[in-house]
Amino acid sequence: MLASSWLIPLLPLVAFAFIVFFTNKRPKLSSYLSVGAVCGSFVLSVPVLFEVLKNPITSEFKFTWIDLQGFTIQMGILIDPLTAVMLMVVTIVSMLVHIYSIGYMAGDPRFSRYFSFLSLFTFAMLGLVLANNFFEIFIFWELVGLTSYLLIGFWFEKKVAADAGKKAFITTRTGDLGFLVGIFLLVSAAGTFNFNQIFHQIEAGSISTGILTVSAILIFAGAVGKSAQFPLHVWLPDAMEGPTPVSALIHAATMVAAGVYLVARTMTLFAASSSAGLIVAIIGAFTAFLAASIGLVQNDIKRVLAYSTISQLGYMMLALGLVGLTAGTFHLMTHAFFKALLFLGAGSVIHAMHTNDIWKMGGLFPKMKITAITFIIASLSISGIFPFSGFWSKDEIFAVAAEYHPIFLLVAIIVAFMTAFYMFRLCFVTFFGKPRDKHKFDHAHESPKVMTIPLMILAFLSIFAGWLGIPWLAKGYSSFVFFHHPHHAEPKIWLMLISTIVALSGIGLAYLIYYKGSISAEKLKEKFSFPYKLLFNKYYFDELYQAIIINPIMGFANFLFKFDLGIIDWLVNAFGNFTLFISNVKEWFDTNIVDGAVNGIAWIFKKACTGLRQIQTGYLSNYILVIFFGILLIILFKIA
């Protein structure tokens, strides 16, 4: 049964190939193929879950993919409770996004293409979840990156969209550098890529702590990129330039979930190195705070949601860093549902209003009841209001944080307050009050059923999915997905009370400012103009990176190119020219000196001969005269 799970990712891949090669010209058919494939994946994932629930052990199926000295890889699938849960989350959210897209993308000229990418995306994420070794997970990791590049930049005629896709790809790949080197380090120490084998070695203590810490931190760098944690969080807010259902998928079940999943999958590593774990937790907590604070003041509905995603991912990292596998993955699951719902709801609003700016919306509640109600349900869930899903999962995280150090709990609580505030700021401004743009308001309408039904299903899940993890439940989530042994913390009533009070006060403040208007937002803005500007401009991260990373690299590249032409190639040419110069000198030397010498000698002889020829008169009398004088000279010489 489990052995045939490889079919789960395969179906969407087949759909992708089929659309690209055959049904590209037939949009309807393409979308059905794509939806059918993901539904098939879902149907196949359900028995996997039940099988694992019945018998929660780790099963692995593999075959040899390459076998060289020092490089042997057995590709395969690994199924354990974590995988089973992730399969459910990914297939459900993906399926709903697929269905919703039929309505949302209707009439797009590249409709088929959109669905082929969506299928590829689902394939990549499912493959990632099922991977049994570091090499395989990296392959799917990169494919997830590629498909989000393609989908974020789907409307590539818009420069911002094309830019955003590129930014996502390159930023996440920067994190992947660490991931790669981390894999190299770990694999060269362990001698295998296989997860289970590596984890066994770690637990047996046969890999030194130093290597574990360094490789854990490096691998985490990959997760920082994918899950948009500080300092690589900058790509995610821009990624909303893609079609909204894609944002839902990226922010909920795929792309960003991959980073969290990676850390969860390699929990052994972070558990073995407490310092690496602590770094994960600190980055998580810091990111949660940073992003939530930016989310307070953004005006674009999707941008607020994007920062909220970053912030919630920070929560998950916080929990995972403190070895709270249950809490981290539980929140990953509940978050997937309510965040998908928020994005799809936002998409429904955008579909109706043709704008992202919340200050052009308002009073939409009566016009879009389903969208509004489901959106509010999701907001209550993310804010952590009893008894919605988010309440239970956030509570788990609080419990983990409280157990480790109060400072983590404090940060978590502050973030919870901000979350409740910015979510209800959105709700009040968008759905209540007076319509701000009359023209747009008049054209607004509820979305078609194909879009609202997914919203309702997700709303259901946003309320009830968290009930699986109610701490009083005997066989709840915590007894299914856990690290080493189930974490049966006593339910802390005081913590639940605090979190409820905090969330309610966040909502209350938003109510006072944006619904009642008893506190003026404008006045606050003026009073705190510096922090407001700082937050509104997202702490100037983009500008900073442009100035300290991108510009220097481009400058250096241009310099090197000039260096290449001006120095290295110049030297080559100079060498050539020098040779030419030498030849010229040689030629001159040849003609003037060598040849000159030859000619000179000839000339000397010629001149000499001409001179000597004078003697050769041919007259006998002259010769006798010379002989006579000659003898005379000899005689004189002898006498002397």
Partner 1 sequence: MNIPILSYMVFSPILGMILVMLLKKEQVQGIRWVSAIFSFIPLILSFFLLANYDPSTSKMQFVEFHKWIPSLGANYHLGADGLSVPMLFLTALLSFVSIIGSFNINFRVKEYFAFFLLLETGMLGVFCALDFFLFYIFWEIMLVPMYFLIGIWGGPRKEYAAIKFFLYTLFGSVFMLVGILALYFTVEPHTLNMMELIRRAPELSRGFQLIVYVAFYLAFAIKVPIFPFHTWLPDAHVEAPTAVSVVLAGILLKMGLYGLLRVSYPMFPKAALYFALPLALLAVINIIYGALVCMAQKDLKKLVAYSSVSHMGFCVLGIAAITVTGISGCVFQMVSHGLITGALFLLVGVLYDRAHTRDIDAFGGLWVKLPVYSGIMTLFCLGSLGLPGLSGFVSEFMVFIGAFPVFKVIVAIAVLGVVLTAGYFLRMIQRIFLGEFNPKWEGLPEISGREIFTVTPLAILMIFIGVYPMPLANMIRATMENIVRLVGG
Does 210 participate in binding partner 1 (rule CB under 8 A)?
Answer: no
Would you call 543 helix, strand, or coil by DSSP? helix
Shortest distance, CB of residue 139 to partner 1, whole angstroms? 4
Does 55 participate in binding partner 1 (rule CB under 8 A)?
Answer: no
Shortest distance, CB of residue 201 to partner 1, whole angstroms? 17
The backbone torsions φ and ψ at residue 74, rounded to the nearest 5 degrees and listed phi first, read: -110, 105
Number of residues that bind partner 1 (CB under 8 A): 48
Span interacting with partner 1, options 60-68, 248-256, 532-540, 581-589, rule CB under 8 A: 60-68
Binding test (CB under 8 A) with partner 1, winner from 9, 27, 76, 153: 153
Give strand pairing partners of 77. 61, 131
Does 359 participate in binding partner 1 (rule CB under 8 A)?
Answer: no
CA dihedral over 508, 316, 149, 151, signed as positive or negative: negative
Q: Are strands 59-68 and 71-79 parallel, antiparallel or unpaired?
A: antiparallel
Does 560 participate in binding partner 1 (rule CB under 8 A)?
Answer: yes
Shortest distance, CB of residue 573 to partner 1, whole angstroms? 8
HEC per residue, 171-202: HHHHHHHHHHHHHHHHHHHHCCCEHHHHHHHH
Does 65 participate in binding partner 1 (rule CB under 8 A)?
Answer: yes
Span interacting with partner 1, options 157-165, 280-288, 431-439, 518-526, rule CB under 8 A: 157-165
* Of residues 24, 244, 250, the one with CA closest to residue 146: 250
Tokens 């016009």, residue located: 367
Which residues 498-557 are close enough to bind partner 1 by CB under 8 A? 553-554, 556-557
Which residues 66-85 are close enough to bind partner 1 by CB under 8 A? 66-71
Would you call 486 helix, strand, or coil by DSSP? coil
Binding mask 161-200 for partner 1 (x = CB under 8 A): -xx--x--xx--xx-xx--xx--xx-xx------------
Contact present, 474 and 123 (Cβ < 8 Å): no
Shortest distance, CB of residue 156 to partner 1, whole angstroms? 4
Shortest distance, CB of residue 146 to partner 1, whole angstroms? 6
Shortest distance, CB of residue 218 to partner 1, whole angstroms? 9
Shortest distance, CB of residue 593 to partner 1, whole angstroms? 27
Span interacting with partner 1, options 154-162, 266-274, 372-380, 615-623, rule CB under 8 A: 154-162
User: Encoding tokens for residue 627?
Assistant: 């002989």
User: Encoding tokens for residue 103?
Assistant: 């309505």
Would you call 75 helix, strand, or coil by DSSP? strand
User: Encoding tokens for residue 342?
Assistant: 């928020």
Please provide the DSSP assignment of 324-354 as one string.
Answer: -HHHHHHHHHHHHHHHHHHHHHHHHHHHHHS
How far apart, in whole angstroms, are the C-alpha atoms of residue 107 and residue 507?
39
* Of residues 188, 190, 189, 178, the one with CA closest to residue 216: 178
Contact present, 122 and 142 (Cβ < 8 Å): no
Shortest distance, CB of residue 176 to partner 1, whole angstroms? 8
Does 574 participate in binding partner 1 (rule CB under 8 A)?
Answer: no
Give Dmax (Cα) for the chain: 152
Does 146 participate in binding partner 1 (rule CB under 8 A)?
Answer: yes
Shortest distance, CB of residue 446 to partner 1, whole angstroms? 33
Query: In the complex with partner 1, which residue's Cβ is closer, 9 or 324?
Result: 9
Q: Which residues bind partner 1 (CB under 8 A)?
A: 64-71, 135, 138-140, 142-143, 146, 149, 153, 156-157, 159, 162-163, 166, 169-170, 173-174, 176-177, 180-181, 184-185, 187-188, 553-554, 556-558, 560-561, 564, 568-569, 571-572, 576
